[in-house]
Structure 1
Amino acid sequence: MSPEHGPRRSRVITVEPALTQLTKLTAGETHRLDRAIVAISVNPELGALIPGSLLRDYVDEIDGVRVIFFVTALQTITVVAYIEA
Structure 2
Amino acid sequence: MSPEHGARRSRVILVEPALTQLAKLTASETHRLDRAIVAISVNPNLGIQVPGTLLRDYADEIDDVRVIYYVTALGSVTIVAYVEA
TM-score (norm 2): 0.96
Which residue matches 2:84? 84
1:17 corresponds to 2:20:
no
Identical aligned residues as a percent: 79
The separation in 1 between residues aligned to 2:3 and 2:64, in whole angstroms, is: 36
Aligned partners of 1:59, 1:3: CA distance in 2, in Å?
30
Instruction: Report the counterpart of residue 8 of structure 1 in structure 2.
Output: 8
| CA–CA separation in structure 2 for the residues paired with 1:21 and 1:35 | 16
How far did residue 21 of structure 1 move? 0.4
Q: Which residue of 1 aligns with 2:71?
A: 71
TM-score if structure 1 supplies the norm length?
0.96
Structure 1 unaligned residues grouped into runs of 5+: none
User: Which runs of 5 or more residues in structure 2 are unaligned?
Assistant: none
Runs of 4+ in structure 1 deviating by more than 6 angstroms, as ranges, are: none
Structure 1 counterpart of 2:80, one-letter code:
V
